[in-house]
Amino acid sequence: MNSKLLRILAIAIFVIPGLAVAQAAPASASPSDPLPTAPGTAVATGTGTKVGTISVEQAIFASNEGQRDFEALSKKLEPKQTELKGQNDEIESLKKQLSTQGDKLNDDARSNLVKQIEDKQKKLERSVQDARDDAQNQQNEIAQRILQKMGPVIVKYAGDNGFGLIIDTSNPWPNGPVLWAGTSVDITKPVVEIYNTQSGVPAPAHPATGAATKPAGTGAPKSATTPAASKPQPK
């Protein structure tokens, strides 16, 4: 499966106070890439005349399987977030020491403290970058695995309902091809519902009540940007 089919937002960017690390630019979807189909599945010929839209990104996040797997990934990444926050707190403590005691230290002691702060800062920046890249790779693996199974559902739904063209709206205009589209032509919700039924994955339980949440056609989990927040977020 071509990775350019997806434009996935980072769900676990490690944001540490005082350390700005920019989010990597997501890969854009390529309209020329075909959707994956299951082996032995007849490919729709596009003989219909209707034009429809789907947010592949939102469909992946909104599926029961997507919510379950991205939530599990978010929890998996929490220890690393905590570790990085601890390293940052240590640096902030050293900076405070330099600020309050710097004029009382001799030149050698002050130089050693400054070098210690710089070395720890560089190490933290590398660790944050590595952690972010790892999180991005893992979320892309989840998304691509789901899309591999969701592709045939999209193709079959389009063929069964007279669509001759389906456009992915994951990337909004002006970066994407669609300036505006009405909700009546969006097939994200029914595709998610069909996929949920076929996957057999139950709706995730509500964190407060334990009750299953209703599947959303265009929703997505919240983003885990700090150790305190642990759920993926939609666009």
Q: Domain limits of the chain? A: 3-18+31-199
**For residues 167-175, average pLDDT:** 92
pLDDT of residue 229: 35
Q: What's the pLDDT at 102? A: 79
Q: In this model, does residue 219 exceed pLDDT 70?
A: no
With CA atoms as reference, report the closest residue to 126 among 87, 78, 82, 73. Answer: 87
pLDDT band for 150, please (50, 70, 90 cuts): very high
pLDDT band at 35 (very low <50, low <70, confident <90, very high): low
Say what the pTM is.
Answer: 0.69
Residue 44's alpha-carbon distances to 65, 78, 149, 163, 182, in angstroms, are: 25, 43, 16, 10, 24
Give percent of the chain above pLDDT 70.
67
Residue 196 pLDDT greater than 80, yes or no? yes
The better pLDDT of the pair 23, 1 is held by 1
pLDDT bin (cut points 50, 70, 90) of residue 206 is low
- Higher-pLDDT residue of 204 and 130 is 130
Question: Which DSSP category does 54 fall into?
Answer: E
